[in-house]
Each structure stands twice: as structure tokens, then as C-alpha cells.
Structure 1
Amino acid sequence: MSFASLKVDKLLIGGRLVDAEDRATYDNINPATETSLGVAADASPRDVEAAVDAARTAFDMTSWSTDPAFRSRCLRQLQTALADHAEEFKALSTAEVGLPAQITGSTVDMPVAGIGWVADLLDRYPFSEDYGEGDIEGFASHRWVEREPYGVVGAITPWNQPFQVNLAKVAPALAAGNTVVLKAAPTTPWSAAAIGRLVAERTDIPPGVFNVITSAANDRGEELVTDPRVDLISFTGSTAVGRRIMSLGSATVKKCFLELGGKSANIVLEDADFARAIGMSTFMVCLHGGQGCATLSRLLLPRSRFEEGVELAAQQLSHMRYGDPTVMGNIMGPLNSARHRDRVEAMVERAIAAGGKPVLGGRRPAHLETGYYFEPTLFADMPEDSEIARDEVFGPVLVALPFDDDDDAVRIANDSVFGLSGAVFSGDHERSKALARRVRAGTMIVDGGIYYGHDVPFGGYKQSGIGRETGKLGFEEYLQVKALCEPI
């Protein structure tokens, strides 16, 4: 399947598809072949300034922020346009992200359907809420609360699931009445540029309401964060970058909505179905190369069955299919870039240098000479406080850790700067729910449930982020609250 008709080499600024300043471009590299797919526009600081100016003008000077019916219609136009090109977006995701074709259905079709869910929410959302009468020292007033858009939103998105995250930010931000500057990750520019083209060509979204910036430089994101005309930053990415965004945003006391990293624990209790429970972790660390913030990358096993669990995990990992992401059946393709592959490899090498010995994997696969691949890897002899057991790898690396009892399992799960996700498996469902409530994480899988959905809020505790994405709560992240009163 070709994606040539999407024409992905332009910026979208002020309603126009334009070249970057001086027609600057850079190569978009296919991580499976290490060859160029073509070029993307390489935006300059002045391009970012123009995009912010267009978004600011559109918010301040048009009726976009005050006409929810029009916004709903435009969102449905966008949904239709994206659905018409869904197969091309799937091929594009495989080519520039390395996302296995096996899973592009859920990563494209579900986000597109989610736009309709957001539009439906917009159609029924009560932007005004009556608080009734109040009396202060004999002075009676009528009070009410209205929700209003923030203004200009800077949306900075990652490379691991760019299409899904782009839509998870853009749809609710626009629905709430904001204008948006979407800044794509350097290694996945086309997933954003293609959306920009369809907005320009297939919707009535006014010029400046939605803008797209692609660039080889991460600095373009920092320019959004520091621009005083940008009212809100919505960022998905690493915790380290999230900290920097918070720091830079503090100069203008800007709202920073952050969805960051994780080191999620899968607690497998002694009475659980081991094959099924352990399979949740082994599958997730291999799915798309473990390049997911909510991956269950810490496998907590009862000490009494630890060796049995490690052996089973190794068996499962050894049977995971990986390689060419265009081949159906492979659930793991390459890591997204040479730089990221090298980072994962360096973390594994440091673990080995510290005395660890991988039960399985730990290196680049010898049979795949081209592409940024790394073997499914399992460690089972690392201390709880080791780097590989505590820090986010964002690759196909699973660390098994033993626990003594339920309290010890909760202690290990919570002994982390992260709190994005987790899981608990037991033969006793009530026991699983009780432990899940004790884990300090924003999403918890209880005996194999699936939390992902348009209507479910996603986000984390602690250094896994601030705020929630998707669902009604995700929509409300993009709304200000104003209290009003009038005399009676």
C-alpha cells in the first residue's frame, strides 16, 4: 500500500501548505531499511513564530472558540477524510515509525473513530453550569460556572505512536475551542504533515486554527514552550524532557499537560494462571519493540515460584515473532532510530557490566543485518535498585524481580519515580482488585482487563505525568473554568 497521495513534505501555517523557510528539508529514515523514504520540511524558528502568530490570530479574531456546532462539523469532516485514507496511514506508520503492519489497525482505526467520540461529547457537553443563588451578608447573587478554551495549544508529540497521539491531542483541543500548533517528533514528521494536508484540503477548519510544524531539531518544541502567546503545552514523551518543559514553561506560568514515562509492574501472585499473566508482560515488551510508555516491563514473581516464572517468560519471549514490520505476524519491528537503538543497547551493556547476565537476548540480532533491531531480552538477576530495573528502557527488555508476599509486591511496585500503569493477576479476583487499588499508578490491569478506549482517561501518578488524555477528563484538560455572578 502506497501513501504517496498524502503528500507529506509541507508545513501547514495559517491555512496554507508551505515549504519551510529557505525550502529547508531533511531525510525521513525508514528504521527497517535505514534508507530515506523522502524528505520532510525542516522548520526554522521563524516558521514556528509564524505558526504561533496564525494560531493566536485565529483564536482572538474568529468565532472558532465560540461556535461548538461548527467545531463539531469540522471534526466530523476530518474524521471522514482520515477514514478515507486509513490504509495509507497504516502503511505510513509502518514505513516511518517501524510499527508492525500486524497492529496498525488498532493504532489507526481506533484513533480515527475517537474523533467521532469527541465530536459526540462536544455536541452534548454542558459548557455552563448553574450554581444557584448565594447570599453574602444580605447581598443575593446568582452564580454560575462556564468552561472556556485556553487559547493557543502547543501539542508536542512522540515518535512511538505518532498518529494515535497526534489525534489524542488535536481532536479534544480543537473540540474545546482552542487553536493548535502541532509539533511532530523529528523522526516521524509525515504522520503529522499528512493530517495537516487533509485539514487544509478536506475540512472547513479556518486558517490558523490548526498548524503543523515538522523539523529535524527538537528546539522547535522549546520555542513553543517559551512563546508567551502559547497558553497551554500538551506534551507526550520522556520524563526528562517533561521536566525541562515544566521548567521552561514556568517563565510564563503556562499550563503544562504532560504524559511521560513509565516502568510499570506486573504483579503475578502465586495462585495466578502463570502462562496468561506472564504472557501479558512478554507480549507487551515485544509489541512494537516495547516502545510504549505503559509497557509492563517489570515482572514481579513470587519468590516461591520465581525460577518457574523466569523459565516460562524466557520460553514465551523466544517464540515472539519479530523482524520486517511489513510482514503480517511480526509483532515487533525495528526500534525507531539508530540513536534509540544505541541507547537501549547501552543500558543493557551497563547492566551486564554491573554483573547481570541476560537469561535471553541482550544484543542486536545477527540474522537482521539492516534495520535498528534489538533482541527480546530478559534479566532475572538484577537488584531492585539497578538502573535496568528502575529506569525506563523503552525497548524489548523485561526485568523479573522476586517478592515475598502481597505487601512486598506492592512495595516493589510503588518503589519507583514512575506511576503510569501496572497489572495484578491472581486466581482470586477480589484479591487482585485489592492490590490494584494499592498500586500508585494511573491505570491498572486487573486479571487481564483492557483499559484503552476513547472514553477512558489515561495518565500517570508521580513523574509519569500531570493530567489525563482521552475521555471526558482529557477533553476538559483543554478548558479553563470561569465563575460568574450577577445580582438578584
Structure 2
Amino acid sequence: MSTETVRTHLFIDGGWRESAGTETIPVISPLTEERIGSVPEASVDDVDAAVAAARAAYRSGWRDLSHAERAAHLRRFADELESRAEERARTVTSENGMPIALARFAEGQAPVQLLRYYADLIEATPAEEERTSTPLPGTTIVRREPVGVVGAIAPWNFPAVLSMFKIAPALAAGCTVVLKPSPETSADSYVLAEAAIAAGLPSGVLNIVNGGTEIGQYLVAHPQVDKVAFTGSTAAGRQIGRVCGELIRPVTLELGGKSSALILDDADLEQTVAGLASASLLNSGQTCYMSTRILVPESRYDNYVDAITAMSSSLPIGDPMDENVAVGPLASERHRNRVLSMIDRGRNDGGTVTTGGGRPADFDRGFFVEPTVFAGIDNSASIAREEIFGPVLTVIAYDGLDEAISIANDSSYGLGGTVWTTDPDRGVDVARRVETGSFGVNYYNLDWGSPFGGVKESGVGRELGPEGLAAYQSLKSIFLPA
């Protein structure tokens, strides 16, 4: 996308279709702040067509394929995406500023791995099982059936892989999908569509409609959608949850986070701070599970502030296509301005900025924000309580392990978190006490085979693992007499 790339069609019912509307969505480079492309904005008529195509594909055979047949489709889809992995990674980097070294895995290879994981899983999962009836004699057949048409809404921070969190298990289960990408990152979904066509994915099984909030709201409330899967902000998740609750419609919500890194008194300073570069600042902090509240024993506070400051200030900033860059621009001007406003609030709350605090001096364009560290602040400050979604860390002192865990749990969120210690057993004990959906001991990384999701305002439901497949299945019990 080094030159302007103009897309003129939507992917609906297995092919390219002109939008019924006339509006377009610009693709803006976060590096140059210039327009580098555009995609058509879907109208409500386009959403109707996409949902109708998904409904027809579901009823006409996709749900009735054997698990092995669907697995074969997913593997062909994975092969085609793998052949386009570099193209997709570079497209995402052009759209949202993700460092290319990260994008090659997260946006190029990870969606391929997820398709293959769910192909293997569905092939090994029986559609039915028999159970001995209780209390009366007899047999019950417990059957797993697909829920139907899925409205999937993906965010802009990891658009390719977080779309596939939904697409892969849904298709494996026998559902069909209408995907709405974020308007900031719609271009990479065209690579996804091209792979689906090349793989021979049946028409209507996957459909893609571009649009903003209004199109998302229309899709969520559509009468022919059977389930909604959403990743994004807690504010938007609340609205979606209200609609799905009113409609008695199943929904999976993966929302915001304000996770803690609990550094115990026995932690190795050098190894811990090196690990925090990924656990707290991955993708310029635009990652929902980042450990951005760093809790440090009072006795070691100054040493850790100095070390975290040095680590943050040493991260290379620049062109995200550069293999050596760790911090690219933020995804949009609006988001950069929000992050900068949160940094100003941190100063107003009495926090001390030990590094960063604004735009890098050497960059006269691009949506950049320096990695920023706040010290001298407690957990009551707004920057310690609100999700910033940028490269901003707060270092908070604690006195004793019980207080550390209390601070970690004193949050409306509960998505991720880490503990840092030379005693892994002690770390696991801490993990058990923190109110969160996932937690890492001396590192943090997602496992395709294990559930991911949050508690409290971080969401409802789970993605990944067998639990992620189950989210797209409905259970039916068939009772048989003895």
C-alpha cells in the first residue's frame, strides 16, 4: 500500500459486489498522515444482502457438512492465507502502525495457525455423545449444533488475528459469518476475502461489510443474526450487550483492560524489566491485556522506576516497516489525541513523568506518542483506573503482598495481568488470588488451546480453545427410554 489502493466492491456471497451506497472510507497512513487508499462503506442494504447470503449458505449445506469436510475447507483457507501472510502483515502495518516484526506473526501467521487449530479440533470433536439418563433408566443423546449466522465485529489494533478469533471457531462449528472490520483497518480484510475465494470457501459462508458504528449497530440488531461476537471498547460492549439481552441473543464480548504487573520482592530486576517491554508495551501499548499498572515493593521502588524508565526510553521509535522498530505510530489521529489527553490528566493528578510525555521531538508527522512512565502516583489516579490503550505506564508502590493483590483487584477491569518472581509456585499462588480472566507468571502470551476473556467490565464469554468452539454451538438433549 505504498501507493493509493482504491477498493470499489464488498465481499458478499462468495464474490465481489458493488456497494448499494455511495460513501467511502479513507485508509490513512498513521506514519505519513496521508490517504493511502479507500474502501466502500456498506449500506444497510449491503448488510441485508450479506446476512441473507450467510443465512442461505447456513441452511443450504454448510451446517450439514461432516466435521471432517469443514476441517478440510478450513485447511485450504489456511493454506491460501499463509501464501498471503506477508502481504497481509504489511497491509496491517500500513493501516495501523503495528511494527512489522510483530505483524508478521500476529497478523500474518497467527490467523493461519488458528484455522488449522480449529480444523484439528472440530475433526476430533464428536457431534453427539450418549449419556446414561438420571434418575430414570434410559439414554440421552447430547448433540452439539451450530448456533447459526454470526455477526462478528473486529477492532483496529489486531484486525487480522482478532477477526480470526471469531471466524475460525464459528466456521468450524458450522456457523456462517458476516464480519464488520473496524473502519480504521478495513483494507486487510480484502486479503482475507481473496484467500477465501482462492480456497473455494462456499459462497455466503464468509461475508465482509465495511462501516462504522451505525453499520455495526444494524448488524448487531439484525433479525437474521443468531449470535454476536465483538472485540472492542467497554462502552461499545455495553451497548451491544443491551441489544443482545433485549433480543435474547447470545453474545461474546471481549472488552477493555487495565491489568497489573505484580513485581514481588524476590524478582530479578533485569529479567523483569526486560519482560515488561512485551507484557506492558506490545504494539505501542495498543493491546487489551497489557500490564500497564506496575506494582512494586516500596523497598525497591526507586530502583524499578529507574529501570522501567530506562527500558521504555530505549525502545526504538519510527517507521513501523523497519524491522528494528519497537514503537510505531498509534493507529489514528483521534486515538493519539486521546492518549495525549490522558497523559495531561496524569500530570494534573500529580504524577511525575520520568520519560516521554508527548510526541517525539524528531518526528514532525505521524501519530506518534513516546513511551511514557508515571511515578509518584497511586491507584486512585485516573491514569491508573482508565484504559489508555497507548504506551503509558504507571509505577505504583505497595507495602506487602496482600496490599499488592488488593491494588490489583481494585479495578473495574479483569482481563490480563502478570506476576514477576523467582519462585514460580509463589507466582501461581498470586495468580489464583487476582480477579482476572488470564494471567502470566514471568511472561504473558496467549495460548490457542486455552480460553481467553475477561471478568467484570472486561467482557462476557471466552474465545480460543475448546471453549471458543463451544461459544458457537448450541446443545440439544434427546431423551430415549430404556
Q: Distance in 1 between matches of 2:387 and 2:150?
A: 28
* Deviation (angstroms), 1:103: 1.4
2:24 matched residue in structure 1: 25
Paired residue for 1:208, among 204, 209, 213?
204
Q: Deviations over 1:218-250 (max 9, x none)?
A: 211111111121111100111111111101212
* Deviation (angstroms), 1:7: 8.3
Which secondary structure state, in structure 1, belongs to the residue aligned with residue 183 of structure 2?
coil
Matches within 5 A, 1:59-458: 59-107=58-106, 108-134=108-134, 136=136, 140-199=137-196, 201-215=197-211, 217-448=212-443, 450-458=444-452
Contact 1:280 1:296 in 2 (8 A): no
> Residue 205 of structure 2 aligns to which amino acid in structure 1?
V
> Residue 400 of structure 1 aligns to which amino acid in structure 2?
V
> Residue 175 of structure 2 aligns to which amino acid in structure 1?
N
Contact 1:281 1:299 in 2 (8 A): no
Contact 1:154 1:233 in 2 (8 A): yes
Contact 1:445 1:451 in 2 (8 A): yes
* Deviation (angstroms), 1:190: 1.3
Contact 2:256 2:415 in 1 (8 A): yes
* Deviation (angstroms), 1:281: 2.7
> Residue 397 of structure 1 aligns to which amino acid in structure 2?
V
Q: Distance in 2 between matches of 1:454 and 1:59?
A: 26
Contact 2:150 2:176 in 1 (8 A): yes
Q: Distance in 1 between matches of 2:117 and 2:284?
A: 29
Q: Distance in 2 between matches of 1:467 and 1:373?
A: 34
Q: Distance in 2 between matches of 1:274 and 1:404?
A: 18
Contact 2:7 2:39 in 1 (8 A): yes
TM-score by length of structure 2 reads: 0.96
Alignment pair present for 1:51 and 2:50: yes
Residues 135 and 439 (structure 1), Cα distance of their counterparts in 2 relative to 1, 3 Å cut: closer
Q: Deviations over 1:321-368 (max 9, x none)?
A: 111101111111000000100111111112212322311111111211
Contact 1:362 1:375 in 2 (8 A): yes
Contact 1:155 1:181 in 2 (8 A): yes
Which secondary structure state, in structure 2, belongs to the residue aligned with residue 416 of structure 1?
coil
* Deviation (angstroms), 1:427: 2.3
Contact 2:27 2:37 in 1 (8 A): yes
Residues 69 and 2 (structure 1), Cα distance of their counterparts in 2 relative to 1, 3 Å cut: farther
Mean Cα displacement is larger for which, 155-164 or 83-92?
A: 83-92
Q: Deviations over 1:199-229 (max 9, x none)?
A: 1x212322211100112x2211111111121
Q: Distance in 2 between matches of 1:7 and 1:64?
A: 35
1:483 matched residue in structure 2: 477
2:36 matched residue in structure 1: 37
* Deviation (angstroms), 1:134: 4.1
Identity of aligned residues (%): 38
Q: Distance in 1 between matches of 2:235 and 2:279?
A: 23
> After TM superposition, where is structure 1 displaced by more than 6 Å over at least 4 residues in a row?
1-4
TM-score by length of structure 1 reads: 0.95
> Residue 391 of structure 1 aligns to which amino acid in structure 2?
E
* Deviation (angstroms), 1:3: 10
Which secondary structure state, in structure 1, belongs to the residue aligned with residue 184 of structure 2?
coil
2:10 matched residue in structure 1: 11
Which secondary structure state, in structure 2, belongs to the residue aligned with residue 321 of structure 1?
coil
Alignment pair present for 1:474 and 2:471: no
Q: Which runs of 5+ in 2 are unaligned?
A: none
> Residue 470 of structure 1 aligns to which amino acid in structure 2?
L
Contact 2:62 2:205 in 1 (8 A): no
Q: Distance in 1 between matches of 2:21 and 2:51?
A: 19
Residues 2 and 347 (structure 1), Cα distance of their counterparts in 2 relative to 1, 3 Å cut: closer
Contact 2:84 2:191 in 1 (8 A): no
Alignment pair present for 1:464 and 2:458: yes
* Deviation (angstroms), 1:272: 0.5
Q: Which runs of 5+ in 1 are unaligned?
A: none
Contact 1:2 1:91 in 2 (8 A): no
Which secondary structure state, in structure 1, belongs to the residue aligned with residue 326 of structure 2?
coil
